[in-house]
Copies of this chain bind each other. A is one copy, B any other.
Amino acid sequence: MTNFLATKAMFDLPEGKIYLDGNSLGAFPKAATKRMTQTLEQEWGELLITGWNKAGWMEQPTKIGDRIAKLIGAETGHVVMGDTLSIKVYQALASALEMRPDRKIILSDNGNFPTDLYMAEGLIHSLGLQHQLKTVDPTDVVNHITDDVAVVMLTQVDYRTGRLHDMKAITKQAHDAGALVIWDLAHSAGALPVHVAACNADFAVGCTYKYLNGGPGAPAFIYVAPRHADTVRPALSGWLGHAAPFAFDLNYTAGNGIERMRVGTPPILQLAALESALDVWDMADINDVRAKSIELTNRFIAGVEAACPMLALASPRDGKMRGSQVSFKFEHGYAAIQALIARGVIGDFRAPDIMRFGFTPLYIDENDVDRAIAIIADVMQNSLWNRDEYKTQSRVT
């Protein structure tokens, strides 16, 4: 049984704040400072170039990939770290489309995170505009998996509402129709048990700065199913994905399996911080995290709904049907979130009217939830958001 008091103690959380935005940027694991100082001073400073061998930097992307693999139900040796999630979406999609040359439709939904759609748009343009990105309502995806679909590309947990797609059923339906499936796990990894292998996913991608707490700009990951790993062409064919990077051949030969999805030089400092964050996960069981997340989010929904009739639940009411976040619709959501932040409850706003709160059991507990409910009740019942200072939109919330 996961000891959540112990995991919470591993984070440095700011005094007087209740942090309900770990779904956007996870909290800071205390041990990261020591780990980073070691990487800076003992590894970079002392070993310099030899750190690539002696400190194991070159293997970090696959070594850390194996730790991610455990959290997403992937086979060991089939996840690698690197780049950003946008780049990994592009890489997976470009690779997948080549595996279905006779099909031209990419099916996604309008609840997908926009960058996934933008990267697809950019790729389609590069490929000569013969492909079509079909973006339907999330609930309607299953009605559009026809035998002309090349790739179904979905984010499992909706970034605004927290609505959860059925990975197993959709993957099976797509395969039955001859399509491939790419799952974006941005809001899934570390939020709930994911089983990419058991669900037969073809590709999965995700980021590590949300529920995995890897820090701002932490690298992305990519999973390629073992059945494709040695045959897929990595569209972004960089030197560290080459079979022999240090032979400096003039021609590209793809590396073994997941190694070929590496591109350029890995971000060793970001990976060091991420490693510290994953040490917390060594103490946690994702099933316990999920159970507690559902408890916390149910408690939050009940408390907020009882106190704030002006807020309309935008997330599925059934905990099993949502990720680890709760969203409410409110016309003045932007100002309300600013007012809450000023009172120490850190949530965020997603246009046009979504107030979003993330729940990360590793460091958020019942007491935090109850205090947050009380503050939200006060802000909403007394319209404390209705001040000019809360209404000016800044670039990021």
Contacts and interface: CB of A to CB of B under 8 A. Distances in A.
A237 B49 contact: no
A246 B119 contact: no
Given A269-B269, A273-B40, A118 B215 contact: no
A239 B115 contact: yes
Contacts of A52: 25, 216, 396
A96 interface: no
B268 A269 contact: no
B53 A394 contact: yes
Given A58-B396, A267-B267, A27 B48 contact: yes
Contacts of A27: 45, 48
Interface string A215-254: 1111110000000000001111111101001111111100
Interface string A26-53: 0110001100110011011111111111
A45 B14 contact: yes
B83 A117 contact: no
Nearest to A394: B53
Given A85-B265, A217-B271, A248-B351, A45 B28 contact: yes
A87 B21 CA distance: 30
Interface of A: 12, 14, 17, 19, 21, 24-25, 27-28, 32-33, 36-37, 40-41, 43-53, 57-58, 83-87, 90, 94, 98, 110, 113-115, 117-119, 121-123, 125-128, 135, 207, 209, 215-220, 233-240, 242, 245-252, 263-271, 273, 341, 346, 348, 350-351, 394-397
18 contacts: A12-B41, A21-B48, A28-B41, A28-B45, A32-B40, A50-B341, A84-B265, A87-B87, A87-B236, A87-B264, A118-B251, A126-B235, A127-B128, A128-B128, A217-B271, A219-B267, A248-B350, A269-B269
